[in-house]
């Protein structure tokens, strides 16, 4: 039994004295929000760090997805995954668009490209895949399908901060990509998010949309929303960004330690990793095969909990099983067999930069 509770994650907190220096500057200028100095600096520094063309910061990732759909004027139906955090589909629904769920690939756990084409109708205007746990989607195939059918492609890259495929950040993929900088994410601004876009015009449009549609003091160009990131959040991000490489390196050590200890336990499988991908180790999911392992997934979850270890069943239940989506035709269990199987077997173990190895040994012994 752990003396103190261990949660699935613990937010990275940058050095307080450094953060205080930034706060002093905010206090000096009185600029608290609305595209302030730190906001502009963070957009520039993130664009450089991620090697992406344009970054528009947001108050959170959900508002970023909602706004991305608005920015591309998406209507009708959007093809998406049921295996994600519920915000992915909520953003579609909040735009009055019908989500169409298709099944996932059993290895990557991302949208199965083979099934996308069959789900395209004359109402489909976009595909919204998720790089779940930071594993990149098969962008080559998905973007070819989007191009062929002349529909848009928006990636929910909330889990994929700084994930690279052949040295290229996956945030470059799609017409737009969305990041989340929530406290539980690899890179955080407490609450926050971003849209990555490819032209100055699109960035301008997105920036207008997140600020009520204002182009200047007296011109409103679109029915915008208030989705701006404030200066305190941006400052938190600027300080945290200095330490991000170290954070990811520590996560990698923890993930590899788990790999070495869990790979040979009968009835437990782990994510497959590939050498051409730089991962960010944002989550550490394991998959329990009830027929092979002594406990069911829920029994193991309860056992860890009884020992003060709070693993999480991300992503169970499937989004398609929640109201109001469960009534949609595409939410049919037969349509989503693999997603159901994965959702019923997954358990995400604690992973965060300062998680001590002796604690991990305790979880592993219990498992």
Interface residues with ligand T4K (CB under 6 A)? Answer: 7-11, 60-62, 84-85, 87-88, 130, 156, 158-159, 180, 182-184, 193, 310, 314
Residue 293 or residue 360: which is nearer to ligand T4K going by CB?
Answer: 360
Q: Please give the backbone phi and psi of residue 183, each rounded to the nearest 5 degrees, phi first.
A: -50, -30
d(CA 101, CA 120): 11
Q: What residues pair up with 77 in beta bridges, in sequence order?
A: 98, 124
Q: Are 263 and 42 in contact (CB under 8 A)?
A: no
Residue 9 or residue 293: which is nearer to ligand T4K going by CB?
Answer: 9
Minimum distance from CB of 215 to ligand T4K (Å)? Answer: 26
Joined tokens for residue 264: 């040979």
Which residue is at the shortest CB distance from ligand T4K? 61
Minimum distance from CB of 180 to ligand T4K (Å)? Answer: 3
Minimum distance from CB of 323 to ligand T4K (Å)? Answer: 17
Minimum distance from CB of 44 to ligand T4K (Å)? Answer: 21
Minimum distance from CB of 11 to ligand T4K (Å)? Answer: 5
Residue 161 or residue 314: which is nearer to ligand T4K going by CB?
Answer: 314
Minimum distance from CB of 184 to ligand T4K (Å)? Answer: 5
Q: Are 61 and 41 in contact (CB under 8 A)?
A: no
Residue 83 or residue 293: which is nearer to ligand T4K going by CB?
Answer: 83
Q: What residues pair up with 176 in beta bridges, in sequence order?
A: 154
Residue 128 or residue 293: which is nearer to ligand T4K going by CB?
Answer: 128
Residue 113 or residue 129: which is nearer to ligand T4K going by CB?
Answer: 129
Residue 86 or residue 265: which is nearer to ligand T4K going by CB?
Answer: 86
Minimum distance from CB of 27 to ligand T4K (Å)? Answer: 24
C-beta pairs of 294-302 under 8 Å, 24+ apart in sequence = 294/267, 297/344, 297/345, 297/346, 297/347, 300/347, 300/367, 301/347
Q: What residues pair up with 349 in beta bridges, in sequence order?
A: 284
Count of C-beta atoms within a 10 Å radius of residue 25: 15
d(CA 367, CA 364): 5
Minimum distance from CB of 142 to ligand T4K (Å)? Answer: 16
d(CA 104, CA 86): 16
Minimum distance from CB of 314 to ligand T4K (Å)? Answer: 6
Residue 103 or residue 293: which is nearer to ligand T4K going by CB?
Answer: 103
Beta strands in 87-225 (DSSP E): 98-101, 124-128, 152-156, 164-165, 168-169, 176-180, 193-197, 214-216, 219-220
Could you give the C-alpha distances from 318 to 84, 93, 109, 149, 291, in angstroms and in order? Answer: 7, 16, 12, 28, 22
Joined tokens for residue 349: 């173990």
Residue 293 or residue 309: which is nearer to ligand T4K going by CB?
Answer: 309
């Amino acid at each position: 039994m752990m003396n103190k509770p261990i949660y699935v994650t613990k937010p990275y907190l940058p050095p307080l004295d450094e953060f205080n220096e930034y706060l002093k500057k905010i206090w000096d200028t009185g600029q608290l929000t609305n595209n302030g100095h730190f906001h502009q600096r963070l957009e520039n520094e993130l664009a450089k760090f991620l090697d992406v063309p344009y970054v528009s910061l947001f108050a959170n990732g959900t508002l970023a997805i909602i706004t991305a759909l608005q920015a591309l004027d998406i209507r009708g139906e959007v093809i998406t995954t049921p295996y994600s955090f519920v915000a992915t589909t909520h953003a579609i629904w909040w735009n009055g668009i019908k989500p169409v769920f298709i099944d996932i690939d059993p290895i990557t756990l991302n949208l199965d490209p083979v099934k996308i084409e069959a789900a395209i109708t004359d109402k489909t205007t976009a595909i919204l895949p998720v790089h779940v746990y930071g594993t990149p989607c098969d962008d080559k195939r998905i973007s070819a399908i989007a191009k062929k059918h002349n529909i848009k492609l928006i990636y929910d890259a909330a889990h994929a901060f700084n994930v690279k495929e052949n040295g290229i950040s996956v945030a470059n993929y799609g017409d737009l990509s969305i990041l989340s900088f929530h406290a539980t994410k690899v890179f955080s601004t407490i609450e926050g998010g971003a849209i990555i876009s490819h032209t100055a015009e699109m960035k301008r449009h997105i920036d207008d949309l997140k600020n009520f549609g204002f182009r200047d003091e007296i011109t409103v160009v679109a029915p915008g929303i208030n989705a701006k990131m404030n200066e305190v959040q941006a400052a938190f991000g600027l300080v945290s960004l200095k330490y991000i490489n170290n954070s990811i390196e520590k996560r990698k050590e923890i993930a590899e330690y788990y790999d070495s200890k869990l790979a040979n336990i009968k009835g437990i499988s782990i994510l497959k990793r590939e050498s051409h991908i730089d991962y960010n180790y944002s989550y550490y999911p394991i998959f329990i095969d009830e027929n092979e392992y002594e406990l069911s997934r829920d029994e193991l979850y309860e056992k860890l909990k009884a020992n003060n270890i709070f693993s999480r069943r991300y992503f169970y239940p499937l989004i398609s099983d929640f109201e109001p989506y469960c009534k949609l035709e595409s939410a049919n269990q037969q349509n989503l067999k693999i997603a159901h199987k994965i959702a019923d077997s997954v358990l995400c173990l604690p992973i965060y930069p300062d998680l001590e190895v002796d604690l991990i040994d305790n979880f592993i012994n219990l498992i």
